[in-house]
Structure 1
């Protein structure tokens, strides 16, 4: 009897303990909800948020006792957090260890240091390929190369001239972040313009362009702006155009101010630069002996020479998400679609990503994608779409590689300057997105006793990005407690 009495007491104690613990957890969640609500309402009350649209959701995935929602099903322009979708899709479809391989071959014959034929570079769509890698591979395979009687040929048959998503806007196309993905890409498809600027209102002068590309014409129609206004310049061009014009404003009274441009014909640019490098190394090649081929029927009498392999996909997505490189995101999206559908049309690329996102358990209704990077202002999805995705991806065996690609607040990547000086520093893993009148954040928050998944997308605010970023920090700090 005594033992039964003791057991009943122990059971009662357990029930009381768990009851109190449940009440504490519920009270904590309610209190946190109120504090988060207070911070969000403070943000929404700002004058510069009048007319703005917000989609916000945060939910607990460890204790499952906290959830906050504000218009989370509203689809808004998300900008670069779109890259989280496309990089995860690449991990899923290609595998963490997938590497691009750029093959090099020749036609004709080779003897006594003379290549009596063409040297062909077969574009694989590798967005990370470097000119130095190609040069080293050729030098290692043909150490005594002295002359090429034919041409340096770019095999551009993989993508043809389908390079730039249809819904990218004109002001982006000539800039480094708007460089399209070609079969053959070199050094991130970037060139640099160096300019001298004068007093406010005066036109800037181009001092030099690197690398030297005589085939490219760049006109300076850019003015010196007000002191402290920064770089507000844009380079205008279009795919396959060799005419670029830079407009907008630059900081006043600066020497050799660098503006990064985007190469608009990467296949041609790559072999132009390769020919230049080989000639500088002492190889005789005729002037203008370069050619881009878009049809496989023109590639005959080939002899395999060597190849250049990229870093693994896991490392490419690390660079893609931490540095928010549009070129890499678009390349990954295209590579997946080529494998899945044998197509690189924008609609095929978008469908591949959307199908993948919905396969993780979320809904695809209300997701509108026009590219793999988020550069198009016509893309849209909601905070709920992204939160569902971030929850679903945690169950995948490649999640560790995906998680490593995320930036950390106050420390790395696109979150390096976000929450540097408050309690959320180091507690949030995620990615930011920004374009004109668009700011977004998505990722995971490690609190003292929980893990939260969150997404916030804000459109059409009227302040500058720094002001909005600072105004969001108290909300993030409250969530991280």
Structure 2
């Protein structure tokens, strides 16, 4: 069935009046008025002060889960400062990435690299060249790295490939979580996580306004990627007095792109990303193009998605950046595909014979976190990115994960993988003009009905703090929820040790 144009919840813009949908890459609320941050807070005031924030009319009907404790040092447990519904289950949105990245770093180490290889297979026929390209889920692989593989083949004086096998079998099972919503699957932030990822499995397009009455002009970032796509462009350019909205949709199974909406004449263009429909074929097409440009002839290409233990001798490879860089991209910029790839990687490494890398990873991660002191009963994952509403976790489990990593040899590397308030990533535009700038390392999370903020806070006059704030509400005001979270963090940042006057 052909899908009609849709309005993605997170990635694309509906009204261009300063409201941007993608919480993990867009403008977030700045901190409260600087005067509010100057108030010092005694620990015994926290209950009343936090409850006062939660009693505001805009958020008091929402369900909140909050866990705050001092960050453990020297192997000692931290002290609880505030608890609200800490063992109840919440949809964590992108805070699910905390579990995935902690498990990956603690299991594999920060220097682990994901390898993409080309093997030469023996056929018994003289001068016949059969090559197999095999990926292991490197989410950072791009056309530039692909060119490096081709160059290595040229250096071996290979000018003709009789049979090229594109082996995309390392991540068996679903490359997209079946619990994702249709709008997420189509958007670039919901790209499939296969074992031969290329260019984040997404295509970037830009819509430019023209003269009033004319359709918007569609420009593909890479013109090569427009090949094979059918475009239904129902957009138009309007006058400055009319509103702006953009609708971008993609057929679920076929390369059909739907464009609708309007931009004002002379306004800024609109950039969108769409998930590709067939990542294996996408990789094949780009590799074949790179080989052709290098003067290497390919006689036959075969796509393979079933495991094959006979891979021959490795003759070319490209390694990803160190794991800590991949984790930083997942945490700091909340890039979904990186977390999805890491979850599947952990699943395959933990259960090599699995028929579903997604399921294996989701089941392995709570167990892999147990050595950190995390109660696995508080973590149920359906994906790695947090897009699924079937992810259910407790605030206590998030804090336990953060605390466990704070006690580990990877403590500094893990903390620094998060966005820093007012400085980087999804927190760059948040807490501006407050003392929290540079003091908070955090992970944001936003869905239509779930908002989260968890991380490490270093107040000037108190011990380091680990915290998790989650809110779920079908009628949630995202802006109000973030405002309340910011108020709570500012309150925590004002903590100081208070002594009774004698």
The two structures share one fold, judged by TM-score above 0.5? yes
Pairwise CA distance, 1:264: 2.8
On the 8 A contact 2:160/2:298 being kept in 1, the answer is yes
Deviates more, 1:390-399 or 1:34-43: 34-43
Aligned to 2:446: 434
Q: Identify the residue that residue 18 of structure 2 maps to in structure 1.
A: none
Other-structure match for 1:5 = none
Whole-angstrom distance in 2 between the partners of 1:460 and 1:204: 37
| 1:354 pairs with 2:366 | yes
Return the match for 2:152 from 137, 140, 160.
140
Task: String of CA shifts for 1:281-314, please: whole Å, max 9, x gaps.
Answer: 343446xx533112355967x4531111111112
- Cα distance in 2 for partners of 1:224, 1:436 equals 29
The reply to whether residue 58 of structure 1 matches residue 68 of structure 2 is: yes
2:101 corresponds in structure 1 to 87
Match of 1:292 among 273, 289, 303: 303
Does 30-39 or 397-406 show the bigger shift? 30-39
Structure 2 Cα separation of the partners of residues 335 and 108 of structure 1? 28
Out of 165, 174, 191, which is 1:179 matched to?
Answer: 191
Using structure 1 for the length normalisation, give the TM-score. Answer: 0.82
Aligned length: 444
In structure 1, what is the equivalent of residue 400 of structure 2? 388
Q: Could you report, residue by residue, the CA deviation over 1:392-429 in whole angstroms, capped at 9, with x for unpaired residues? A: 22221222221120111111112111211222211111
Q: So what's the TM-score if we normalise by structure 2?
A: 0.78
Equivalent pair of 2:332/2:419 in contact (CA under 8 Å): yes
Structure 1 residues 169 and 37: alpha-carbon distance in aligned structure 2, compared to 1, 3 A threshold: same
Q: Structure 1 residues 361 and 160, CA, compared in 2 at 3 Å: closer, same or farther?
A: closer
Contact 2:250 2:274 in 1 (8 A): no
- The verdict on how the C-alpha distance between 1:227 and 1:367 changes in structure 2, with shifts beyond 3 A counting, is farther
Deviations 1:12-44 (A, max 9, x none): xxxxxxxxxxxxxxxx99834425633542343
Question: Which of 454, 458, 468 in structure 1 is aligned with 2:467?
Answer: 454
- Structure-2 separation of matches of 1:74 and 1:155: 43
Q: Is the 8 A contact 1:51 1:461 kept in 2?
A: no
Structure 1 CA distance for aligned equivalents of residues 224 and 473 of structure 2: 40
Give the whole-Å Cα distance in 1 for the aligned partners of 2:79 and 2:309: 63
Per-residue CA deviations over 1:319-366 (Å, capped at 9, x if unaligned) read 111111111111111111111122234332221112233443243334
- Greater per-residue helix proportion: 1
Change (3 A) 1:223 1:262: farther
How big is the alpha-carbon RMSD for the aligned residues of Structure 1 and Structure 2? 3.3
1:165·1:346 contact (CA, 8 Å) conserved in 2?
Answer: yes
Residues 1:309 and 2:319 aligned together: yes
- Correspondences of 1:183-194 after superposition (within 5 Å): 183-194=195-206
**Aligned match of 1:336 in 346, 359, 362?**
346
Equivalent-residue separation in structure 1 for 2:193 and 2:156 (angstroms): 33
Within 2, Cα distance between the matches of 1:228 and 1:414? 31
Give me the whole-angstrom Cα distance separating, in 2, the residues matched to 1:394 and 1:59.
13
The CA deviation at 1:233 is 3.9
In the alignment, the residues of structure 2 paired with residue 153 and residue 479 of structure 1 have an alpha-carbon distance, to the nearest angstrom, of 56
Cα deviation code 1:100-154 (max 9, x no counterpart): 1111123579xxxxx8544431112111122222222321342485743534431
The CA deviation string for residues 37-60 of structure 1, in whole angstroms up to 9 with x for no partner, is: 33542343233x254221112112
2:272 to 252, 256, 259: 259
- Bigger relative CO (Cα 8 Å, ≥ 6 apart): 2
Q: 1:474 to 1:98 in 2, by over 3 A?
A: same
Q: Deviations over 1:431-460 (max 9, x none)?
A: 111121221100111112311111101122
Relative to structure 1, the CA distance from residue 359 to residue 463 in structure 2 (aligned partners, 3 Å threshold; closer, same or farther) is same
Aligned to 1:13: none
CA distance in structure 1 between the aligned counterparts of 2:153 and 2:116, rounded to whole angstroms: 14
- Spell out, residue by residue over 1:138-195, the C-alpha distance to the aligned partner (whole angstroms, 9 max, x if none): 2134248574353443111212453112211111112111011111111211211222
C-alpha distance in structure 2 between counterparts of 1:436 and 1:229, whole Å:
23
Offset of residue 74 of structure 1: 2.4
Q: Is the CA contact (8 Å cut-off) linking 1:267 and 1:292 kept in structure 2?
A: yes
